[in-house]
Amino acid sequence: MTTKLKRLLVSVLLIPMFAIGVLAAPASAATGQGAEAAGAAHGRSPADDPTADIKDRLAAIPGVTITDEQPTTTGHRYFLATYTQPIDHFRPWLGTFQQRFSVLHRGYDRPTVFYTNGYTLGTTPSRTEPTRLVDGNQVSIEYRFFTPSRPEPADWSKAGIRQQAADSHKLVTALKRIYQQEWLSTGASKGGMSSTFYRRFYPDDVAGTIAYVAPNNTDVSDYSAYTDFFRTVGTPECRAKLNAAQRELLVRRDRLEPRYIADNKAAGSTFNTLGTPDRAYEAGVLDVVWAFWQYSLESDCAKVPVAATATDDELYAWYDAQSGITGNSDQSLAKYTAYYYQAATELGAPYFDVSYLKDQLHYDYKELYSARSYVPKEIPTVFNPHAMPDIDRWVKREGERIMFVYGGNDPWGAKPFHLGRGSDDSYVYVVPGGNHGSNIGKLPAAQSGEATAKVLEWAGLGDQGDARSLAKSPQTGAPFGPLDIEGQRLEQERRPL
């Protein structure tokens, strides 16, 4: 049976489930309805009029409300908007919520890149690497249950993979009314996972997917790959220096933790989620080595304090740079509740062996690495062990036109997606020595050229494509979550989960 035929059969089987919740246009969103009705009075909707202003066309799509337009330096029009989504796509009668998205408009004759942000939507105009490569439009979606895209009250059981994939499908389907050239999807880290999840359930929505640094935790009981990674990454000298500095943060706990508590008190921090400042401090110490390899390069080992000679100030500053002094406070963790919930219910949260710290630890490190520890106690979690294996099987058996890009020294790449016999026109690239900011432009020249050509081909540009210099328009502006980094790292409060 051909892949296309299998897809057709799957689509037919899914229609009864999705017909009401996904295919039906929402009956709310007054702004979209008003524009639509005004256009209908003159014979057709502004959404279908290519001579109408893009803002009017977007606003005429049922469910879309334009909330802001911002200037750009790239010749694009940039809009922030909301789209009416069902709280539950499979039971749409349970109500709706407003999901935030943005549109970077280049032109109707250009491809469109759909950016599945795994976290809160950045509101500063910026372009992902595929958008720059194809000189295209970009639609970016905020992951459901990250504020403000959160129903009130929040039924957290609706925060997972299937619901967000349906969010993406519904929005892309609506916007194809305007953008009719080829579509690509992309995302980094959790966003890269999200772009893969989207393709698993709606494989024909886009012509190709570029997923950056997307981890693939299919077995939450086996994290030997992460332990092996930290035993071999970089040079022995760098690993020893990092481990020693990490250990020293615990050896000097009696001096450094009081500073930590005082600084958090001054910042208004509380620790109800993790329980105590002591637990929060130790959790941050466990993070520092992971965070180093996630965000730094091996050459940065020179900046790691030497445990035997470093002052308290030097160690404390390094701790802050890696984990963030307030990073484990309730106030910081609250921004990522939706991530930790999904990690505790579907994605898994990795840990690695830190037995070299055992005599200095106050708590079970596996428990501190558990995503459940970072979810507020009043939110229940039940882990679904089938969610990630399902995605993994699809990639290996049916995935088409998917590109995975990893960093060779990025801990999240320790458990990557692999291709299988059924993977068609799909590729895995690894940036030698790369961290969590790895992308096509950082690959060796030959591989970068191959990958760029493939992106242009999927976008329908072929030889017409101009592999524009990424250096001319660097990625800027977007806030990043615990997994995400594209271009510059803007957020100092971070965790490696």
Domain positions in the chain? 3-28+63-218+386-465, 224-374
Specify the residue for token string 């009017």: 56
Determine the topology of domain 3-28+63-218+386-465 in CATH: Rossmann fold (3.40.50)
492 HSE (CA, 13 A, CB side): 8
Q: Which tokens sit at 440?
A: 């096509």
Spatial CA neighbour of 190 closest among 397, 341, 352: 341
Q: Beta 183-188 vs 112-116: how paired, if at all?
A: parallel
DSSP 341-376: HHIIIII-------GGGGGG-SS-HHHHH-GGGGS-
Say if residues 229 and 435 touch (Cβ distance below 8 Å): no
291 HSE (CA, 13 A, CB side): 25
Say if residues 350 and 217 touch (Cβ distance below 8 Å): yes
pLDDT for the residue 423: 96
CB within 8 Å of 260: residues ≥ 6 apart = 277, 281, 316, 325
Q: For the whole model, what pTM was predicted?
A: 0.86
Specify the residue for token string 């999840």: 197
CB within 8 Å of 144: residues ≥ 6 apart = 85, 97, 99, 150, 158, 159, 163, 164, 167, 338
Q: Which tokens sit at 264?
A: 């958090």
In angstroms, rounded to a whole number, what is the distance separating the alpha carbons of residues 81 and 226? Answer: 40
Q: What b/e string do you get for 354-373 counting C-beta neighbours within 10 Å, with b at 16 or more?
A: beebeebeebebeebbbbbb
Q: Beta 183-188 vs 208-212: how paired, if at all?
A: parallel
Sheet strand arrangement including 183-188: 64-70, 77-86, 96-105, 137-141, 112-116, 183-188, 208-212, 402-407, 427-431
Reduce the secondary structure of 94-124 to three states and give it as a string.
HCEEEEEEEEEECCCCCCEEEEECCCCCCCC
Q: Which tokens sit at 360?
A: 């200095």
Which letter does DSSP use for residue 484 in this model? -
Spatial CA neighbour of 326 closest among 376, 367, 283: 283
Spatial CA neighbour of 84 closest among 102, 94, 99, 103: 99
pLDDT for the residue 463: 64
DSSP 388-445: HHHHHHHHHHH-BSEEEEEETT-GGGGS-----TT-BS-EEEEETT--TT--GGGS-H
CA 72 centroid distance within chain: 24
CB within 8 Å of 204: residues ≥ 6 apart = 7
Q: Beta 77-86 vs 64-70: how paired, if at all?
A: antiparallel
pLDDT for the residue 462: 79
Other Cβ atoms within 10 Å of 286 Cβ, number:
24
- Residue 78's DSSP bridge partners are 70, 104
Give me the torsion for CA of 480, 494, 222, 298, rounded to 10°.
Answer: 90
**pLDDT in tens for each of the 497 residues of the chain?**
444 334 333 333 332 222 222 223 333 333 444 444 444 445 578 889 999 999 999 999 999 999 999 998 878 999 999 999 999 999 999 999 999 999 999 999 999 999 998 999 999 888 999 999 999 999 999 999 999 999 999 999 999 999 999 999 999 999 999 999 999 999 999 999 999 999 999 999 999 999 999 999 887 777 899 999 999 999 999 999 999 999 999 999 999 999 999 999 999 999 999 999 999 999 999 999 999 999 999 999 999 999 999 999 999 999 999 999 999 999 999 999 999 999 999 999 888 899 899 999 999 998 998 999 999 999 999 999 999 999 999 999 999 999 999 999 999 999 999 999 999 999 999 999 999 999 999 999 999 999 999 999 999 997 654 444 333 333 333 333 444 333 333 232 333 33
pLDDT for the residue 99: 98
Other Cβ atoms within 10 Å of 439 Cβ, number:
24
In angstroms, rounded to a whole number, what is the distance separating the alpha carbons of residues 339 and 313? Answer: 32
In angstroms, rounded to a whole number, what is the distance separating the alpha carbons of residues 349 and 371? Answer: 6
In angstroms, rounded to a whole number, what is the distance separating the alpha carbons of residues 428 and 410? Answer: 15
